[in-house]
């Protein structure tokens, strides 16, 4: 089960992907007749999500976004799906249930679905 910070990070990444797609193709969408006035609403929602995160997590998230394009990945089979490196099994213990976990290989933020 994901902790609240991880849930916000996953939602933030999803929203950032939507914003990137919308802004990258905005002129093309407008040409086809789509209303693009709601992009500002997405930006406001992003600001609300960022406000829920610890500043250190926001900084690390944005750094990983710039470096890799995606900063948050699930762990499946004790493997980071960002770089396919093994993740320490201790990450599943109760010691880490309230922490945001990072891949020791690539630095991306991890969650256990």
Q: Report H helices in 25-113.
A: 26-31, 39-51, 55-68
Query: CA–CA distance from 95 to each of 55, 99, 101 (Å)?
Result: 22, 8, 11
In this prediction, residue 46 has a pLDDT band, given cuts at 50, 70 and 90, of very high
In this prediction, residue 109 has a pLDDT band, given cuts at 50, 70 and 90, of very high
What pLDDT digit, counting tens, does each position of 66-105 carry?
A: 999 999 999 999 999 999 999 998 998 888 888 999 999 9
CA atoms within 13 A on the CB side of 48: 8
Residue 75 has a pLDDT of 95
Residue 111 has a pLDDT of 93
Where do the domains of the chain lie, and which CATH numbers do they carry?
4-111 (1.10.287.1490)
């Amino acid at each position: 089960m994901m902790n609240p910070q991880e849930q916000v990070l996953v939602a933030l990444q999803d929203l950032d992907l939507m914003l990137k797609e919308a802004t990258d193709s905005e002129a093309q969408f407008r040409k086809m007749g789509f209303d693009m006035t709601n992009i500002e609403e997405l930006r406001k929602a992003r600001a609300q999500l960022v406000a829920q995160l610890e500043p250190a997590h926001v900084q690390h998230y944005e750094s990983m976004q710039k470096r890799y394009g995606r900063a948050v990945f699930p762990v499946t089979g004790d493997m980071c799906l960002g770089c396919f490196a093994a993740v320490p099994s201790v990450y599943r213990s109760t010691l880490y249930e309230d922490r945001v976990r990072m891949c020791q290989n690539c630095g991306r933020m991890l969650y256990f679905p």
